[in-house]
Amino acid sequence: MNSSQLNCFLAVADSLSFARAAEKMHITQPAVTHQINSLENELDVKLFKRTTRTVELTKEGYSFIADAKSILNTISMAKVRFSVQEKEAPIPFHIGCHHGELHFLPTLFKKMAELYPNIHPFVKAIPLPALMQLLQTEAIDVLFGMQGLDSAKHSVHFKELAKVSISCIMQKEHPLAKKAFITSSDIAGEHIAILDTHNTPSPILTAQSQLLKNHPTSAVYCCGTSEEVLLLVRAGMAITFMPDIIPMRESSLVYIPTENPLSVSYGLYYKTLQKKPMLKSFIKIAGEFFQM
């Protein structure tokens, strides 16, 4: 696998046209075809569905886009590192998160840049199982998440940043939005969006089960990601019960405590702190941020 193959793949994925990709790459169309064929042979998958008229990404092609970009970023960083003096080289720092953390990560990055002027953060916002696998192999340095994963099983450590309550989240215009707290009787007849069991940490799953034990399954939307859940809430199609992490709140929504509040631990997973001063600094900065 080489950068020419990956650049050709991304060019075709962007334009869905071998001809336009060839123009963009300033090479011939047969050369693009050759690079894609050789990449597919090496990966032993089809990245594109091709007919005489159309080009479409396969499921494997979609999933490989992030990998291709990551590999090219690594190659680019290596070139930079070898082209400048070591003291000026960017220092990579890889973070796993969900889209909610993007609200406050700039604040943490600013603090980190004051300590490490050459830091180059890389952020991966992908499903939790994939992030945990990357953490175990130390492809990422740290991972935001709820406590509930078996840390010993995954050979990782957990540092709590905050105790957060499971709250009911809805649009500001919702009829329940003015209530001081939400009861089980309040949500009768409401459509509720939740994370499916495969993507839900056990404490949240327990809380959801208690809150929805008498709720009809026909009125429950099961979603693959928290982003999908909040999309339905913003659309006014449902309400939800999720951890209320204040720095991740959306201004268009309201967060109302439940009658019997349940709390979960939110924090950082990491593999080891040995010989990782940057990671230690990041955990310290994140801890101070959540204590404000």
Task: Identify which has the larger pLDDT, 85 or 160.
Answer: 160
Determine the topology of domain 163-265 in CATH: D-Maltodextrin-Binding Protein; domain 2 (3.40.190)
Does domain 84-160+266-291 match CATH 3.40.190.10?
yes
pLDDT of residue 105: 96
pLDDT of residue 183: 87
pLDDT of residue 149: 64
- 151 CB-near residues (< 8 Å, 6+ apart): 157, 158, 269
Inter-residue long-range contacts of 42-51, CB under 8 Å, 24+ positions, other chains counted = 42/1, 42/5, 43/1, 47/9, 47/13, 48/12
Confidence of residue 81 (pLDDT cuts 50, 70, 90): low
Residues of the chain with CATH 3.40.190.10: 84-160+266-291, 163-265
pLDDT of residue 217: 86
pTM assigned to the model: 0.68
Q: What is the pLDDT of residues 86-137, one digit of tens each?
A: 556 788 999 999 888 999 999 999 999 999 999 999 999 887 778 888 998 8
Distance of CA 128 to the CA centre of its chain: 7
pLDDT score of 208 more than 80:
no
pLDDT score of 10 more than 70:
yes
pLDDT score of 268 more than 80:
yes
What are the Cα distances from residue 164, in Å, to 107, 204, 245, 246, 254?
20, 11, 6, 9, 16
pLDDT of residue 87: 54
pLDDT of residue 151: 54
For domain 3-78, give its CATH number from 3.30.450.20, 3.40.50.10490, 3.40.50.1390, 1.10.10.10: 1.10.10.10
The percent of residues above 90 in pLDDT, for the chain, comes to 55
Question: What is the average pLDDT across 73-97?
Answer: 76
pLDDT of residue 203: 65
Q: What is the pLDDT of residues 39-72, one digit of tens each?
A: 999 999 999 998 888 999 998 888 899 888 888 8
Beta carbons of 187 and 240 less than 8 angstroms apart: no
